[in-house]
């Protein structure tokens, strides 16, 4: 099967995500045959460095032996069992280990299948816990300007990215959208003041505030300070509103600590959401971690006060085994090594700073903006990068990298050279 054949069949039979299918004639999907470390290899044997970790999931590169072995072993033992009425060791161990990473502050773990379902679960748990506590009027949600929390209807209701949201706007719940912090604008204090005004006025009706800690990913890798989150935590406590930290993108060490929230301090949010990197790009899994307070609000002899929510693959053992193998890597000191990798990236990209705007980095996420970018910049950049052995998908005029934890000076230099060459092509 040659590459053009497969791309052609894909256009006919596969409805690709986040894609205007009519554009696929000009931008044919890359037919990927296999993966090796940071490289993806197409059906013609050409290779591409997976600079965005296949939508931020692939932590250790492709075909990681330890992850594969963990899944294979689980596959031969117990590929699946329902988590209602049954339990299993991989799920229990994973829940215990994640809760231990919060010092027990978030000691109750609910399992979902993907990021959007984790968002739905947390929104429902927040509302329902207030209801069980005799405050059913707390049913409004708050999110930040340019936030992204997924694309099912509930998650989209707390998402403020126009291209995803506008078409479905008439269907969505009316969440409050509040000014967001943006390190490029140094506006954290104003953003907090706007939040305070809303919470002061509506806290009796507000169930929760949901945020992407430290980096608003889909907004274009917008980075902001931990101080904003400290202020937000204090404020949500003051007004009796839950705080949901959506770490689906920024968790699993991406910002330099396992949870981005570790950089904020020891007063944890009421919910932390994980997905994407938690299985290292092998299995679909998401997790909602929450507190004794939220959990206890559901504790009752009355069945309907319980959280009657489920997905067929909830707590799938294969996915949990993969996640446990990911945590083994962090337990073995991966993040010490990742700091050196982040420095290698910083050194390699520093020479680009004068040509671009707001070159910024937190941990293993590096981004910059391209001023006066031509029309269809992201699509053109993605396409031209292929010729430089690079798989990358800018967001608007923001080019970013979120590579697997496989960076050394040589790979960092390769990435900087490939990005610079692509930029030269696109701006030529
Ligand atoms: C990707 C993402 C989601 C949605 O996860 P899916 O698995 O794509 O549904 C939610 N929140 C954030 C911050 C994300 O980056």
* DSSP string computed for 179-238: ----TTTT-HHHHHHHHHHHHHHHTTTEEEEEE-SSEESTTTSEE--HHHHHHHHHHHHH
Which protein residue has the closest C-alpha to ligand 1 atom 11? 149
Q: What pLDDT sits at residue 1?
A: 63
Per-residue pLDDT of 84-136, as tens digits, reads 999 999 999 999 999 999 999 999 999 999 999 999 999 999 999 999 999 99
Q: Distance between CA 87 and CA 95 in Å, rounded?
A: 12
Rounded to the nearest angstrom, the distance between the alpha carbon of 151 and the centre of ligand 1 is 8
Rounded mean pLDDT, 37-60: 97
Question: 62 and 56 in contact (C-beta within 8 Å)?
Answer: no
Average pLDDT, the chain: 97
- CA atoms of 355 and 413, how far apart (whole Å): 17
The residue contributing the CA closest to ligand 1 atom 6 is: 115
Could you report the per-residue pLDDT of 255-310, keeping only the tens digit for each?
A: 999 999 999 998 999 999 999 999 999 999 999 999 999 999 999 999 999 999 99
Distance CA 320, CA 311 (A): 15
Distance (Å, whole) CA 413 – CA 346? 10
Mean pLDDT of 387-416: 98
Mutate which of 275, 284, 393 for ligand 1? The one with the most ligand atoms within 8 Å of its CB, which is: 275
CA of 212 to the centre of ligand 1 (A): 10
Question: Is 315 flagged in the annotation as binding?
Answer: no
Count Cα neighbours of 239 within 13 Å in the Cβ-side half-sphere.
Answer: 24
Is residue 2 predicted with pLDDT exceeding 80?
Answer: no
Spatial distance between the Cα atoms of 293 and 370, rounded to a whole number of angstroms: 46
pLDDT of residue 371: 95
Could you tell me the pTM of the whole model? Answer: 0.98
On whether 311 is known to bind a ligand per the annotation, the reply is yes
Query: Would you say the CB of residue 42 lies under 6 angstroms from ligand 1?
Result: no
Domains in the chain, start-ordered, CATH in brackets? 3-63+334-427 (3.90.1150.10), 68-331 (3.40.640.10)
Model pLDDT, residue 274: 98
pLDDT at 266: 84
Query: How many Cβ atoms are within 10 Å of 186's Cβ, its own excluded?
Result: 11
Please write the tens of the pLDDT for every residue from 168-197: 999 999 999 999 999 999 999 999 999 999
Contact between 115 and 286 under an 8 Å Cβ cutoff? The reply is yes
Find all residues with CB under 8 Å of 414, minimum gap 6, and list them: 49
Q: Choose the residue to mutate in 116, 214, 269 for probing ligand 1, maximizing ligand atoms within 8 Å of C-beta.
A: 116
Which atom of ligand 1 is found nearest the CA of 275?
7
**Is 116 one of the annotated binding-site residues?**
yes
Q: Is the beta carbon of 123 within 6 A of some atom in ligand 1?
A: no
- Tell me the pLDDT band of 4, cut-offs 50, 70 and 90: confident
């Amino acid at each position: 099967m040659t590459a053009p054949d497969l791309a052609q069949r894909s256009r006919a039979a596969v409805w690709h995500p986040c894609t205007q299918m009519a554009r696929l004639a000009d931008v044919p999907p890359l037919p990927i045959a296999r993966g090796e470390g940071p490289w993806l290899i197409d059906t013609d044997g050409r290779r591409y460095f997976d600079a965005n970790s296949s939508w931020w999931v692939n932590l250790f590169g492709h075909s990681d032996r330890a992850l594969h072995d963990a899944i294979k072993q689980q596959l031969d033992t117990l590929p699946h069992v329902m988590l209602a009425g049954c339990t299993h060791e991989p799920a229990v161990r994973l829940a215990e280990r994640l809760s231990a990473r919060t010092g027990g502050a978030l000691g109750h773990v609910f399992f979902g299948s993907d990021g959007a379902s984790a968002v739905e679960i947390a929104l429902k748990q927040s509302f329902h816990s207030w209801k069980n506590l005799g405050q059913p009027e707390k049913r409004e949600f708050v999110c930040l300007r340019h936030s992204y929390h997924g694309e099912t209807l509930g998650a989209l209701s707390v998402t403020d990215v126009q291209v995803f949201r506008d078409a479905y706007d008439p269907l969505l719940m009316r969440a409050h959208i509040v000014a967001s912090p943006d390190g490029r604008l140094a506006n954290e204090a104003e953003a907090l003041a706007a939040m305070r005004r809303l919470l002061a006025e509506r806290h009796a009706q507000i169930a929760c505030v949901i945020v992407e800690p430290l980096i608003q990913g889909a907004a274009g890798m917008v980075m902001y300070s931990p101080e904003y989150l400290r202020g937000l935590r204090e404020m949500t406590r003051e007004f009796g509103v839950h705080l949901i930290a959506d770490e689906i993108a920024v968790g699993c060490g991406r910002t330099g600590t396992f949870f981005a929230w570790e950089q904020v301090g020891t007063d944890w949010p009421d919910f932390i959401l994980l997905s994407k990197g938690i299985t290292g790009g092998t299995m679909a899994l998401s997790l909602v971690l929450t507190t004794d307070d939220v959990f206890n609000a559901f504790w009752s002899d009355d069945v309907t006060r319980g959280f009657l929510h489920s997905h067929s693959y909830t707590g799938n053992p294969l996915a949990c085994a993969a996640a446990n193998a990911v945590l083994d890597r962090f337990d073995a000191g991966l993040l010490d090594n990742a700091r050196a990798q982040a420095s290698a990236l910083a050194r390699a990209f520093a020479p680009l700073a004068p040509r671009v705007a707001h070159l910024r980095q937190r941990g293993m996420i590096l981004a910059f903006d391209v001023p006066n970018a031509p029309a269809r910049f992201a699509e053109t950049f993605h396409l031209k990068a292929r010729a430089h052995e690079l798989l990358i998908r800018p967001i608007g005029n923001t080019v970013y990298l979120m590579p697997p934890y496989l960076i050394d000076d040589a790979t960092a230099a390769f990435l900087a050279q490939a990005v610079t060459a692509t930029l030269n092509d696109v701006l030529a």
